[in-house]
Amino acid sequence: MSDRLFIFDTTLRDGEQVPGCQLNTVEKIQVAKQLEALGVDVIEAGFPISSPGDFNSVIEISKAVTWPTICALTRAVQKDIDVAAEALQFAKHKRIHTGIGTSDSHIKYKFNSNREEIIERAVAAVKYAKRYVEDVEFYAEDAGRTDNEYLARVVDAVVKAGATVVNIPDTTGYCLPQEFGAKIKYLMEHVDGLSAGKAILSTHCHNDLGMATANTIAGIMNGARQAEVTINGIGERAGNTSLEEVAMILKCHKGIDIDTNINTQKIYPTSRLVSSLMNMPVQPNKAIVGRNAFAHSSGIHQDGVLKNVQTYEIMDPKDVGIDDNAIVLTARSGRAALKHRLSVLGVELEGERLDATYQEFLKLADKKKEVNDDDILMLAGADRAAAHAIKLDYLQVTTGMGVKSVACIGLDIAGEKFEASASGNGPVDAAIKALKNIIKRHTVLKEFTIQAISKGSDDVGKVHMQVEYDGHVYYGFGANTDIVSASVEAYIDCINKFKK
């Protein structure tokens, strides 16, 4: 019988730490339910001591989700563990994930401590967490750069203290696959509690050198039985190992003989949902879920695929939930079709919210012939802007070759109307200058990304922005068939987040 790998999803914790990717509790519940449908074993729902928002999200996700274990992160600190236990009170299956840095640089510079004291603190944290829950996971932060012999002593001590899972993070993404695999092998061979089945090892790899998935697979092939992953590989800096890559590697490489509980046909809808809610575009060439992942453009490839799809495709797009025959929504599609498609994508809308989204859908379907999944996810999330105090009333821009662009803008600020105009070196410049003439704050545009039109000149353009104001950087998003309006919407999204 094949071995089982547990999938620990940390999209809502490590993934959500990414600047600009923050979700509110309702959105986190949506993602958590989709992860449950996808078949993940553990959902890391947050770091409860870090903020009231995280605390509340762990509570609400615990109530909303039935099968997966809900996990809460802590440092090896009693207060953190108390708060995590409280946040997990409604979880049907609960886990506390506690830990401490074990590399020499963490021990010296982060904790001003020594190896023996770190083992004592690790053991004390596990024992303390055990007072609240049976299932305790310990992480040895920066295990990737921790000396193997010392790491084995740490793992041995925490397993004896009652840890059920020991996480070996390559926190900095430094390890080579062979090195990481050897580390897991060394631990499997030198810690009795592991061979005795008292605990399992987990991988948690970061992608700084592009080796997160390779390291995770090396870890699995050497004995790790849990993999910590995120949807689309989002996470701190260059991100974490991506769930879809691990799940599909194990599905395609039957020789590894390790199974997961992932329903791979839910991979693509989950990827779209997370990307849309977090306003985090997926790079077109991203393995498994990128727009080009199954697109064959060269003549030789197209010819081969037409003769026999296996010549260039190692997996069936349908296996990851990409269905070319999926119903495309048009202006003639009814409310029920929209509701059904959203539900396939993990968004349940009813009543007034469904009506409002349907009205927006009809407007968009008037502007473009076919409305795709990204569009309707964007529409379903559009009511996030409804609560904004500052709203765009109208925007008029004249532009062209050899003339200066001029923009007139109207804003509604908490019910009061304002108008201004400005000229600029292009339509976006003119529109933003007109907007600034009303807002009158010193802002600096730090980043401005327009997601290029992908399927036709009538497609929806998506704009991501970072605006600096008063020492803080704010993230904004806008989407519109008119790219200038999308840019202004993104700027307004940022302004609405200003703290003063």
**What residue numbers does the annotated binding site for Mn(2+) cover?**
14, 204, 206, 240
**Running DSSP on this structure, what letter comes out for residue 450?**
E
Does position 169 interact with ligand KIV (CB under 6 A)? The reply is yes
Helix (H, G, I), strand (E, B), or coil: what is residue 94?
strand
Partner from ligand KIV, Zn ion, none binding residue 27, C-beta < 5-8 Å depending on class: none
Partner from Zn ion, ligand KIV, none binding residue 141, C-beta < 5-8 Å depending on class: ligand KIV
| Closest to ligand KIV by CB, 13 or 464 | 13
Q: What string of H, E and C letters represents the secondary structure of 254-323?
A: HHHCEECCCCHHHHHHHHHHHHHHCCCCCCCCCCCCCCCCCCCCCHHHHHHHHHCHHHCCCCCHHHHCCC
| Closest to ligand KIV by CB, 144 or 381 | 144
* Rounded Cα gap, residues 228 and 242, in angstroms: 9
* Contact pick of 204, 341, 433, 436 for ligand KIV (by CB under 6 A): 204
Partner from Zn ion, ligand KIV, none binding residue 167, C-beta < 5-8 Å depending on class: ligand KIV
* Contact pick of 8, 128, 139, 469 for ligand KIV (by CB under 6 A): 139
H helices of 368-421, where? 373-381
Nearest alpha-carbon partner for 261 in 454, 32, 435, 9: 9
- For 200-228, give one letter per residue: b (16+ CB within 10 A) or e: bbbbbbbbbeebbbbbbbbbbebbbbbbb
- Shortest reach from residue 175's CB to Zn ion, in Å: 14
Does position 358 interact with ligand KIV (CB under 6 A)? The reply is no
Angle at 327 between CA 323 and CA 329, to 5 degrees: 130
114 and 141 Cβ atoms separated by less than 8 Å:
no
Does position 268 interact with ligand KIV (CB under 6 A)? The reply is no
* Contact pick of 9, 14, 60, 245 for ligand KIV (by CB under 6 A): 14
Per the DSSP assignment, residues forming a β-bridge with 7 are 227
* Rounded Cα gap, residues 479 and 489, in angstroms: 7
Does position 14 interact with Zn ion (CB under 5 A)? The reply is yes
* Contact pick of 16, 41, 141, 489 for ligand KIV (by CB under 6 A): 141
Partner from Zn ion, ligand KIV, none binding residue 28, C-beta < 5-8 Å depending on class: none
Does position 228 interact with Zn ion (CB under 5 A)? The reply is no
Helix (H, G, I), strand (E, B), or coil: what is residue 8?
strand
- Shortest reach from residue 73's CB to Zn ion, in Å: 10
Provide the Cα torsion 188, 192, 193, 194; round to 10°. 20
Does position 241 interact with ligand KIV (CB under 6 A)? The reply is no
Binding site as annotated, residues: 14, 204, 206, 240
Which residue type sits at 433?
K
Does position 167 interact with ligand KIV (CB under 6 A)? The reply is yes
Per the DSSP assignment, residues forming a β-bridge with 141 are 101
Q: Using CB under 5 A, which of the segments 14-22, 299-307, 338-346, 400-408 binds Zn ion?
A: 14-22
User: Site residues for ligand KIV, window 285-324 (CB under 6 A)?
Assistant: none
Does position 44 interact with Zn ion (CB under 5 A)? The reply is no
Where along the sequence are the contacts to Zn ion (CB under 5 A)?
A: 14
Where along the sequence are the contacts to ligand KIV (CB under 6 A)?
A: 14, 139, 141, 167, 169, 171, 204, 206
